[in-house]
A and B are shown apart, each in its own frame.
Chain A
Protein backbone atom coordinates (compact mmCIF):
# COMPACT_ATOMS: atom_id res chain seq x y z
CA UNK A 1 0.00 0.00 0.00
CA UNK A 2 1.45 3.35 -1.08
CA UNK A 3 -0.05 6.51 0.35
CA UNK A 4 0.74 10.19 0.47
CA UNK A 5 0.34 11.94 3.79
CA UNK A 6 0.17 15.71 3.79
CA UNK A 7 1.29 17.51 6.94
CA UNK A 8 0.40 21.00 8.13
CA UNK A 9 1.60 22.99 11.07
CA UNK A 10 3.69 20.26 12.66
CA UNK A 11 6.60 21.26 14.86
CA UNK A 12 10.01 19.80 14.07
CA UNK A 13 9.76 17.36 16.92
CA UNK A 14 6.26 16.17 15.95
CA UNK A 15 7.31 15.89 12.31
CA UNK A 16 10.30 13.75 13.33
CA UNK A 17 8.17 11.38 15.41
CA UNK A 18 5.63 11.17 12.60
CA UNK A 19 8.39 10.34 10.15
CA UNK A 20 9.64 7.56 12.45
CA UNK A 21 6.08 6.26 12.80
CA UNK A 22 5.68 6.16 9.03
CA UNK A 23 8.94 4.24 8.78
CA UNK A 24 7.56 1.65 11.18
CA UNK A 25 4.53 1.19 8.93
CA UNK A 26 6.73 -0.32 6.24
CA UNK A 27 6.72 -3.53 8.27
CA UNK A 28 2.98 -3.70 7.57
CA UNK A 29 3.54 -3.12 3.85
CA UNK A 30 2.31 0.47 4.16
CA UNK A 31 4.71 2.78 2.33
CA UNK A 32 4.17 6.40 3.23
CA UNK A 33 5.37 9.51 1.45
CA UNK A 34 5.26 12.56 3.70
CA UNK A 35 4.98 16.02 2.23
CA UNK A 36 4.13 19.52 3.36
CA UNK A 37 0.53 20.13 2.39
CA UNK A 38 -0.19 23.20 0.28
CA UNK A 39 -3.70 22.27 -0.78
CA UNK A 40 -2.72 19.65 -3.34
CA UNK A 41 -3.64 16.02 -3.53
CA UNK A 42 -3.04 13.79 -0.54
CA UNK A 43 -4.57 10.58 0.65
CA UNK A 44 -4.82 11.99 4.16
CA UNK A 45 -3.72 15.00 6.16
CA UNK A 46 -1.99 15.18 9.50
CA UNK A 47 -2.38 18.58 11.14
CA UNK A 48 -1.37 20.21 14.41
CA UNK A 49 -4.25 22.29 15.72
CA UNK A 50 -1.84 24.20 17.94
CA UNK A 51 -0.60 26.07 14.89
CA UNK A 52 -2.51 28.52 12.75
CA UNK A 53 -1.44 26.75 9.57
CA UNK A 54 -2.66 23.47 11.02
CA UNK A 55 -6.05 24.93 11.96
CA UNK A 56 -6.47 26.44 8.51
CA UNK A 57 -5.56 23.17 6.85
CA UNK A 58 -8.05 21.37 9.11
CA UNK A 59 -10.85 23.75 8.09
CA UNK A 60 -10.09 23.33 4.40
CA UNK A 61 -9.82 19.55 4.71
CA UNK A 62 -13.11 19.37 6.60
CA UNK A 63 -14.90 21.39 3.95
CA UNK A 64 -13.50 19.17 1.25
CA UNK A 65 -14.37 16.04 3.23
CA UNK A 66 -10.73 14.91 3.14
CA UNK A 67 -9.62 12.36 5.75
CA UNK A 68 -7.63 14.17 8.40
CA UNK A 69 -5.98 13.17 11.64
CA UNK A 70 -5.40 15.82 14.24
CA UNK A 71 -2.88 16.52 16.93
CA UNK A 72 -5.29 18.43 19.22
CA UNK A 73 -4.36 21.46 21.26
CA UNK A 74 -2.30 20.66 24.30
CA UNK A 75 -4.65 19.69 27.11
CA UNK A 76 -7.75 19.64 24.90
CA UNK A 77 -9.67 16.45 25.56
CA UNK A 78 -13.15 17.68 24.77
CA UNK A 79 -13.14 18.82 21.15
CA UNK A 80 -14.71 15.96 19.21
CA UNK A 81 -12.32 15.43 16.32
CA UNK A 82 -13.10 12.41 14.21
CA UNK A 83 -9.53 11.09 14.30
CA UNK A 84 -7.02 12.21 16.90
CA UNK A 85 -3.39 11.52 17.57
CA UNK A 86 -1.75 11.87 20.93
CA UNK A 87 0.92 14.54 20.59
CA UNK A 88 2.87 13.03 23.48
CA UNK A 89 2.73 9.46 22.17
CA UNK A 90 5.90 7.70 21.03
CA UNK A 91 6.42 6.91 17.35
CA UNK A 92 5.26 3.31 17.77
CA UNK A 93 1.91 4.40 19.18
CA UNK A 94 1.45 6.94 16.41
CA UNK A 95 2.28 4.20 13.91
CA UNK A 96 -0.44 1.95 15.34
CA UNK A 97 -3.00 4.76 15.17
CA UNK A 98 -2.06 5.48 11.57
CA UNK A 99 -2.30 1.81 10.68
CA UNK A 100 -5.77 1.53 12.18
CA UNK A 101 -6.81 4.52 10.13
CA UNK A 102 -5.20 3.36 6.89
CA UNK A 103 -6.03 -0.32 7.14
CA UNK A 104 -9.31 -0.35 8.96
CA UNK A 105 -11.09 -3.49 10.03
CA UNK A 106 -13.70 -4.86 7.69
CA UNK A 107 -16.45 -2.97 9.56
CA UNK A 108 -17.33 0.31 7.91
CA UNK A 109 -17.03 3.57 9.81
CA UNK A 110 -18.29 7.07 9.26
CA UNK A 111 -15.34 7.70 6.95
CA UNK A 112 -16.72 5.15 4.54
CA UNK A 113 -19.53 7.43 3.46
CA UNK A 114 -19.04 10.82 1.93
CA UNK A 115 -21.25 13.63 0.81
CA UNK A 116 -24.13 14.96 2.80
CA UNK A 117 -24.60 11.66 4.62
CA UNK A 118 -20.97 11.71 5.73
CA UNK A 119 -21.38 15.25 6.98
CA UNK A 120 -24.46 14.29 9.00
CA UNK A 121 -22.66 11.33 10.55
CA UNK A 122 -19.58 13.29 11.48
CA UNK A 123 -21.61 16.20 12.81
CA UNK A 124 -24.06 14.07 14.81
CA UNK A 125 -24.26 15.65 18.25
CA UNK A 126 -23.22 19.05 16.94
CA UNK A 127 -25.23 21.77 18.63
CA UNK A 128 -24.42 24.34 16.00
CA UNK A 129 -26.51 24.98 12.89
CA UNK A 130 -24.57 24.05 9.77
CA UNK A 131 -24.90 25.47 6.29
CA UNK A 132 -24.37 22.82 3.62
CA UNK A 133 -24.15 23.59 -0.06
CA UNK A 134 -23.86 21.71 -3.27
CA UNK A 135 -24.20 23.73 -6.44
CA UNK A 136 -27.45 25.67 -6.27
CA UNK A 137 -28.75 23.62 -3.34
CA UNK A 138 -28.23 25.09 0.09
CA UNK A 139 -29.63 23.77 3.36
CA UNK A 140 -29.36 24.41 7.04
CA UNK A 141 -28.75 21.32 9.14
CA UNK A 142 -30.08 21.74 12.66
CA UNK A 143 -28.81 18.41 13.88
CA UNK A 144 -29.63 18.83 17.57
CA UNK A 145 -33.12 20.10 16.72
CA UNK A 146 -33.67 17.27 14.25
CA UNK A 147 -34.66 19.71 11.51
CA UNK A 148 -33.48 20.60 8.05
CA UNK A 149 -34.24 23.96 6.43
CA UNK A 150 -34.26 24.72 2.73
CA UNK A 151 -35.27 27.59 0.52
CA UNK A 152 -37.77 25.61 -1.48
CA UNK A 153 -39.55 22.27 -1.35
CA UNK A 154 -37.82 21.14 -4.55
CA UNK A 155 -34.42 21.37 -2.84
CA UNK A 156 -35.26 18.37 -0.66
CA UNK A 157 -35.64 15.72 -3.39
CA UNK A 158 -32.68 17.30 -5.18
CA UNK A 159 -30.58 16.91 -2.04
CA UNK A 160 -31.80 13.33 -1.58
CA UNK A 161 -30.60 12.50 -5.08
CA UNK A 162 -27.17 13.97 -4.36
CA UNK A 163 -26.82 12.56 -0.86
CA UNK A 164 -23.54 10.72 -1.45
CA UNK A 165 -21.88 13.11 -3.89
CA UNK A 166 -18.54 14.24 -2.61
CA UNK A 167 -19.00 17.88 -3.55
CA UNK A 168 -21.00 19.09 -0.56
CA UNK A 169 -19.48 21.93 1.38
CA UNK A 170 -20.14 22.36 5.07
CA UNK A 171 -19.64 25.39 7.28
CA UNK A 172 -21.04 26.85 10.44
CA UNK A 173 -24.15 28.91 9.87
CA UNK A 174 -23.33 32.57 10.47
CA UNK A 175 -24.60 33.78 13.83
CA UNK A 176 -26.41 36.66 12.10
CA UNK A 177 -27.51 34.83 9.00
CA UNK A 178 -28.24 37.52 6.37
CA UNK A 179 -30.45 35.02 4.52
CA UNK A 180 -32.43 33.88 7.56
CA UNK A 181 -35.73 34.92 5.99
CA UNK A 182 -35.11 32.69 2.96
CA UNK A 183 -35.23 29.38 4.82
CA UNK A 184 -38.91 28.86 4.22
CA UNK A 185 -39.16 25.09 4.32
CA UNK A 186 -38.60 23.12 7.53
CA UNK A 187 -38.70 19.34 7.64
CA UNK A 188 -37.66 16.49 9.87
CA UNK A 189 -33.97 15.75 9.34
CA UNK A 190 -34.51 12.13 10.29
CA UNK A 191 -37.29 11.58 7.77
CA UNK A 192 -35.14 13.26 5.12
CA UNK A 193 -32.19 10.98 5.89
CA UNK A 194 -34.27 7.81 5.86
CA UNK A 195 -35.92 8.70 2.56
CA UNK A 196 -32.60 9.74 1.07
CA UNK A 197 -30.71 6.65 2.20
CA UNK A 198 -33.41 4.44 0.75
CA UNK A 199 -32.75 6.02 -2.64
CA UNK A 200 -29.06 5.12 -2.36
CA UNK A 201 -29.37 1.78 -0.59
CA UNK A 202 -27.40 -0.04 -3.29
CA UNK A 203 -24.43 2.29 -2.83
CA UNK A 204 -24.06 2.26 0.93
CA UNK A 205 -21.36 0.08 2.52
CA UNK A 206 -22.64 -2.85 4.50
CA UNK A 207 -22.95 -2.58 8.26
CA UNK A 208 -23.46 -6.34 8.41
CA UNK A 209 -21.62 -7.51 11.51
CA UNK A 210 -21.92 -4.94 14.30
CA UNK A 211 -24.86 -4.80 16.68
CA UNK A 212 -26.91 -1.64 16.82
CA UNK A 213 -29.73 -0.36 18.94
CA UNK A 214 -32.07 2.61 18.78
CA UNK A 215 -31.92 4.94 21.78
CA UNK A 216 -35.34 6.28 20.80
CA UNK A 217 -37.92 5.96 18.07
CA UNK A 218 -36.82 7.88 14.99
CA UNK A 219 -39.14 10.55 13.64
CA UNK A 220 -40.95 8.64 10.91
CA UNK A 221 -43.74 11.16 10.38
CA UNK A 222 -42.52 11.91 6.89
CA UNK A 223 -41.59 8.33 5.97
CA UNK A 224 -45.06 7.28 4.96
CA UNK A 225 -44.08 4.96 2.09
CA UNK A 226 -41.79 2.77 4.15
CA UNK A 227 -43.60 0.32 6.44
CA UNK A 228 -40.36 -1.53 7.06
CA UNK A 229 -38.98 1.51 8.87
CA UNK A 230 -41.69 1.16 11.49
CA UNK A 231 -41.00 -2.53 11.91
CA UNK A 232 -37.25 -2.04 12.16
CA UNK A 233 -37.71 0.78 14.66
CA UNK A 234 -39.89 -1.39 16.85
CA UNK A 235 -37.31 -4.19 16.86
CA UNK A 236 -34.23 -2.02 17.31
CA UNK A 237 -35.89 -0.22 20.20
CA UNK A 238 -36.30 -3.50 22.05
CA UNK A 239 -32.77 -4.84 21.76
CA UNK A 240 -29.58 -4.71 19.74
CA UNK A 241 -29.49 -6.31 16.32
CA UNK A 242 -27.00 -6.62 13.53
CA UNK A 243 -28.15 -5.93 10.00
CA UNK A 244 -27.62 -9.56 9.08
CA UNK A 245 -29.71 -10.83 12.01
CA UNK A 246 -32.48 -8.38 11.19
CA UNK A 247 -32.57 -9.51 7.58
CA UNK A 248 -32.75 -13.13 8.64
CA UNK A 249 -35.42 -12.53 11.25
CA UNK A 250 -37.71 -10.18 9.33
CA UNK A 251 -37.23 -11.18 5.72
CA UNK A 252 -36.69 -7.53 4.86
CA UNK A 253 -34.15 -6.94 2.12
CA UNK A 254 -30.68 -6.53 3.60
CA UNK A 255 -29.84 -3.40 1.62
CA UNK A 256 -33.07 -1.82 2.82
CA UNK A 257 -32.13 -2.56 6.44
CA UNK A 258 -28.63 -1.29 5.85
CA UNK A 259 -29.93 1.99 4.47
CA UNK A 260 -32.19 2.44 7.50
CA UNK A 261 -29.28 1.82 9.84
CA UNK A 262 -27.09 4.36 8.05
CA UNK A 263 -29.85 6.95 8.16
CA UNK A 264 -30.50 6.53 11.88
CA UNK A 265 -26.77 6.48 12.58
CA UNK A 266 -26.53 9.81 10.82
CA UNK A 267 -29.46 11.25 12.75
CA UNK A 268 -28.04 10.13 16.08
CA UNK A 269 -30.92 7.81 16.95
CA UNK A 270 -28.91 4.64 16.42
CA UNK A 271 -25.79 3.65 18.29
CA UNK A 272 -23.45 0.73 18.21
CA UNK A 273 -24.33 -1.66 20.98
CA UNK A 274 -21.85 -3.25 23.35
CA UNK A 275 -20.17 -5.97 21.34
CA UNK A 276 -20.23 -8.25 24.38
CA UNK A 277 -24.01 -8.45 24.24
CA UNK A 278 -25.19 -11.74 22.87
CA UNK A 279 -26.89 -11.66 19.52
CA UNK A 280 -30.60 -12.16 20.00
CA UNK A 281 -32.08 -15.39 18.84
CA UNK A 282 -35.30 -14.53 17.10
CA UNK A 283 -37.29 -16.81 19.34
CA UNK A 284 -35.68 -15.52 22.55
CA UNK A 285 -36.81 -11.95 22.04
CA UNK A 286 -40.26 -11.77 23.56
CA UNK A 287 -42.16 -10.33 20.61
CA UNK A 288 -45.83 -10.94 21.13
CA UNK A 289 -47.94 -11.89 18.19
CA UNK A 290 -50.50 -9.22 17.44
CA UNK A 291 -54.01 -10.03 18.65
CA UNK A 292 -56.57 -10.66 15.95
CA UNK A 293 -58.24 -7.34 16.79
CA UNK A 294 -55.02 -5.41 16.30
CA UNK A 295 -54.36 -7.37 13.12
CA UNK A 296 -57.74 -6.32 11.75
CA UNK A 297 -57.11 -2.69 12.61
CA UNK A 298 -53.59 -2.92 11.22
CA UNK A 299 -54.86 -4.37 7.97
CA UNK A 300 -57.00 -1.30 7.46
CA UNK A 301 -53.98 0.91 7.95
CA UNK A 302 -51.89 -1.07 5.51
CA UNK A 303 -49.86 -3.09 7.99
CA UNK A 304 -49.29 -6.82 8.12
CA UNK A 305 -48.98 -7.75 11.77
CA UNK A 306 -49.78 -11.43 11.60
CA UNK A 307 -46.11 -12.26 12.27
CA UNK A 308 -44.29 -11.52 15.52
CA UNK A 309 -43.52 -7.88 15.88
CA UNK A 310 -42.56 -5.49 18.62
Chain B
Protein backbone atom coordinates (compact mmCIF):
# COMPACT_ATOMS: atom_id res chain seq x y z
CA UNK B 1 0.00 0.00 0.00
CA UNK B 2 1.39 3.38 -0.94
CA UNK B 3 2.21 5.63 1.99
CA UNK B 4 0.35 8.88 1.30
CA UNK B 5 2.96 10.91 3.14
CA UNK B 6 5.93 9.58 1.20
CA UNK B 7 4.63 9.23 -2.33
CA UNK B 8 5.12 12.06 -4.76
CA UNK B 9 1.81 12.74 -6.38
CA UNK B 10 0.47 14.86 -9.17
CA UNK B 11 -3.26 15.18 -9.67
CA UNK B 12 -5.29 15.77 -12.78
CA UNK B 13 -8.83 16.94 -12.15
CA UNK B 14 -11.68 18.16 -14.28
CA UNK B 15 -15.06 17.23 -15.68
CA UNK B 16 -15.86 14.29 -17.88
CA UNK B 17 -14.47 14.72 -21.35
CA UNK B 18 -11.92 17.40 -20.52
CA UNK B 19 -8.99 15.20 -21.53
CA UNK B 20 -7.55 14.01 -18.21
CA UNK B 21 -6.89 10.43 -19.33
CA UNK B 22 -5.44 11.65 -22.61
CA UNK B 23 -3.18 14.16 -20.88
CA UNK B 24 -1.89 11.62 -18.38
CA UNK B 25 -1.18 9.18 -21.17
CA UNK B 26 0.75 11.90 -23.02
CA UNK B 27 3.28 12.49 -20.26
CA UNK B 28 3.53 9.18 -18.44
CA UNK B 29 6.23 6.57 -18.80
CA UNK B 30 3.68 3.80 -18.58
CA UNK B 31 0.24 3.66 -20.13
CA UNK B 32 -2.23 4.75 -17.48
CA UNK B 33 -4.26 2.17 -15.69
CA UNK B 34 -7.76 3.38 -16.24
CA UNK B 35 -11.04 2.05 -15.13
CA UNK B 36 -12.79 2.76 -18.42
CA UNK B 37 -16.21 1.65 -19.44
CA UNK B 38 -18.13 2.40 -22.63
CA UNK B 39 -19.75 5.79 -22.42
CA UNK B 40 -23.36 5.51 -23.33
CA UNK B 41 -24.01 9.23 -23.64
CA UNK B 42 -24.67 9.70 -27.36
CA UNK B 43 -23.20 13.23 -27.56
CA UNK B 44 -19.64 13.80 -28.81
CA UNK B 45 -16.87 11.49 -29.92
CA UNK B 46 -16.04 10.11 -26.51
CA UNK B 47 -16.34 6.34 -26.56
CA UNK B 48 -15.11 5.48 -23.10
CA UNK B 49 -15.34 7.18 -19.73
CA UNK B 50 -13.27 6.70 -16.63
CA UNK B 51 -14.88 5.43 -13.47
CA UNK B 52 -12.80 5.34 -10.32
CA UNK B 53 -9.60 6.97 -11.51
CA UNK B 54 -6.59 6.96 -13.83
CA UNK B 55 -3.24 6.01 -12.46
CA UNK B 56 0.17 6.17 -14.05
CA UNK B 57 3.78 6.75 -13.12
CA UNK B 58 6.70 8.87 -14.21
CA UNK B 59 10.15 7.76 -13.18
CA UNK B 60 12.10 10.75 -11.86
CA UNK B 61 15.24 8.79 -11.02
CA UNK B 62 16.14 5.14 -10.49
CA UNK B 63 14.71 5.24 -6.98
CA UNK B 64 11.96 7.81 -7.27
CA UNK B 65 8.58 7.76 -8.94
CA UNK B 66 6.04 10.47 -9.53
CA UNK B 67 2.56 9.02 -9.18
CA UNK B 68 0.01 10.61 -11.45
CA UNK B 69 -3.66 10.35 -10.59
CA UNK B 70 -6.56 11.39 -12.70
CA UNK B 71 -9.54 12.12 -10.50
CA UNK B 72 -12.84 10.99 -11.99
CA UNK B 73 -15.01 13.72 -13.33
CA UNK B 74 -18.30 12.27 -12.21
CA UNK B 75 -19.72 13.98 -9.16
CA UNK B 76 -20.74 10.73 -7.51
CA UNK B 77 -17.08 9.68 -7.52
CA UNK B 78 -15.94 12.89 -5.86
CA UNK B 79 -14.98 10.96 -2.71
CA UNK B 80 -11.97 9.54 -4.58
CA UNK B 81 -10.24 12.89 -4.28
CA UNK B 82 -10.06 12.64 -0.51
CA UNK B 83 -8.51 9.18 -0.79
CA UNK B 84 -5.77 9.80 -3.34
CA UNK B 85 -5.34 13.54 -3.14
CA UNK B 86 -3.78 14.37 0.23
CA UNK B 87 -0.09 15.08 0.04
CA UNK B 88 -0.12 15.87 -3.67
CA UNK B 89 2.49 18.27 -5.00
CA UNK B 90 -0.13 20.07 -6.98
CA UNK B 91 -2.87 19.62 -9.51
CA UNK B 92 -3.75 20.28 -13.11
CA UNK B 93 -7.39 21.24 -13.58
CA UNK B 94 -8.46 20.48 -17.12
CA UNK B 95 -11.55 22.12 -18.55
CA UNK B 96 -13.34 21.59 -21.84
CA UNK B 97 -13.71 24.78 -23.87
CA UNK B 98 -16.66 23.27 -25.75
CA UNK B 99 -18.63 22.62 -22.57
CA UNK B 100 -21.86 24.52 -22.17
CA UNK B 101 -21.15 24.65 -18.45
CA UNK B 102 -17.53 25.84 -18.54
CA UNK B 103 -17.95 28.30 -15.67
CA UNK B 104 -19.71 25.74 -13.48
CA UNK B 105 -17.09 23.14 -14.37
CA UNK B 106 -14.39 25.55 -13.25
CA UNK B 107 -16.15 26.27 -9.98
CA UNK B 108 -16.70 22.58 -9.32
CA UNK B 109 -13.10 21.69 -10.12
CA UNK B 110 -11.67 24.41 -7.90
CA UNK B 111 -13.96 23.37 -5.06
CA UNK B 112 -12.99 19.72 -5.50
CA UNK B 113 -9.33 20.59 -5.21
CA UNK B 114 -10.02 22.83 -2.21
CA UNK B 115 -11.74 19.95 -0.44
CA UNK B 116 -8.61 17.85 -0.91
CA UNK B 117 -6.39 20.62 0.41
CA UNK B 118 -7.31 24.31 0.60
CA UNK B 119 -3.65 25.19 0.02
CA UNK B 120 -3.19 22.90 -2.96
CA UNK B 121 -1.58 24.74 -5.86
CA UNK B 122 -2.97 24.16 -9.30
CA UNK B 123 -2.96 25.36 -12.87
CA UNK B 124 -5.78 25.32 -15.40
CA UNK B 125 -5.62 23.77 -18.85
CA UNK B 126 -8.32 24.43 -21.42
CA UNK B 127 -8.76 21.67 -23.98
CA UNK B 128 -10.57 21.83 -27.30
CA UNK B 129 -10.18 25.60 -27.63
CA UNK B 130 -9.02 25.03 -31.20
CA UNK B 131 -12.33 23.43 -32.17
CA UNK B 132 -14.62 25.77 -30.25
CA UNK B 133 -15.01 28.94 -32.35
CA UNK B 134 -17.02 30.69 -29.66
CA UNK B 135 -14.44 30.15 -26.92
CA UNK B 136 -12.95 33.28 -25.39
CA UNK B 137 -10.07 33.47 -22.96
CA UNK B 138 -11.57 36.69 -21.64
CA UNK B 139 -14.40 34.58 -20.24
CA UNK B 140 -11.87 32.52 -18.32
CA UNK B 141 -9.95 35.57 -17.16
CA UNK B 142 -13.14 37.24 -15.93
CA UNK B 143 -14.11 34.03 -14.15
CA UNK B 144 -10.69 33.81 -12.55
CA UNK B 145 -10.96 37.40 -11.34
CA UNK B 146 -14.39 36.75 -9.82
CA UNK B 147 -13.03 33.65 -8.08
CA UNK B 148 -9.84 35.47 -7.05
CA UNK B 149 -7.75 32.90 -8.87
CA UNK B 150 -4.25 33.97 -9.86
CA UNK B 151 -3.20 30.83 -11.63
CA UNK B 152 -1.80 30.06 -15.05
CA UNK B 153 -4.53 29.31 -17.55
CA UNK B 154 -3.25 27.73 -20.74
CA UNK B 155 -5.03 26.49 -23.83
CA UNK B 156 -3.57 23.08 -24.57
CA UNK B 157 -4.09 19.99 -26.63
CA UNK B 158 -4.03 17.12 -24.12
CA UNK B 159 -2.79 14.80 -26.87
CA UNK B 160 0.39 16.85 -27.20
CA UNK B 161 3.00 15.78 -24.63
CA UNK B 162 4.88 19.07 -24.96
CA UNK B 163 1.80 21.12 -24.14
CA UNK B 164 0.81 18.94 -21.20
CA UNK B 165 4.38 19.18 -19.90
CA UNK B 166 4.16 22.95 -20.32
CA UNK B 167 1.19 22.94 -17.93
CA UNK B 168 3.11 20.88 -15.40
CA UNK B 169 6.09 23.21 -15.75
CA UNK B 170 3.85 26.17 -14.99
CA UNK B 171 2.60 24.33 -11.92
CA UNK B 172 6.18 23.85 -10.76
CA UNK B 173 6.72 27.58 -11.07
CA UNK B 174 3.76 28.37 -8.81
CA UNK B 175 4.63 25.80 -6.14
Contacts and interface: CB of A to CB of B under 8 A. Distances in A.
Contacts of A220: 152, 154, 166, 170
A224 B170 contact: no
B172 A186 contact: no
B166 A224 contact: yes
B135 A219 contact: no
Contacts of B89: 293-294, 297
B3 interface: no
A217 B169 contact: no
Contact of A224 (B144, B150, B155, B165): B165
Interface in A283-305: 290, 293-294, 296-303, 305
B11 interface: no
Interface of A: 142, 144-147, 149, 183, 185-188, 190-191, 216-217, 219-224, 227, 230-231, 233-234, 237, 290, 293-294, 296-303, 305, 309-310
B contacts with A: majority SS: mixed
A230 to B, nearest CB: 5
Contacts of B170: 217, 220, 230, 233
Contacts of A224: 160, 162-163, 165-166
Contacts of A222: 155, 163
Contact of B135 (A147, A221, A237, A294): A147
B102 to A, nearest CB: 13
Contact of B60 (A237, A296, A305, A309): A296
Contacts of A227: 169
Nearest to B166: A224
Interface of B: 8, 58, 60-61, 64, 66, 89, 125-126, 129-133, 135-138, 141, 144, 150-156, 160, 162-163, 165-170, 172-175
Contacts of B136: 142, 144-147
A296 B155 contact: no
Contacts of A302: 165, 169
Contacts of A145: 135-138
Contact of B137 (A146, A298, A310): A146
A293 B61 CA distance: 12
Given A220-B154, A301-B168, 12 more contacts: A145-B137, A145-B138, A146-B136, A186-B135, A217-B170, A221-B154, A222-B155, A222-B163, A230-B169, A234-B173, A296-B61, A297-B66
A305 B172 contact: yes
Given A147-B136, A297-B89, A309 B166 contact: no
Given A145-B136, A219-B155, A221-B163, A301 B131 contact: no
Given A297-B8, A297-B60, A221 B167 contact: yes
Given A219-B153, A221-B155, A297-B8, A310 B135 contact: no
Contacts of B175: 290, 294
A301 B154 CA distance: 17
Contact of A231 (B66, B130, B173, B174): B173
Nearest to A226: B166
A223 B166 contact: yes
Nearest to A144: B138
B66 A309 contact: no
21 contacts: A144-B138, A146-B136, A147-B135, A186-B133, A187-B130, A217-B150, A217-B151, A219-B155, A220-B170, A221-B126, A221-B156, A221-B166, A224-B166, A227-B169, A230-B169, A233-B173, A293-B89, A297-B172, A298-B169, A309-B173, A310-B174
A142 B64 CA distance: 45
Contacts of B162: 224
A303 to B, nearest CB: 6
A14 B132 CA distance: 50
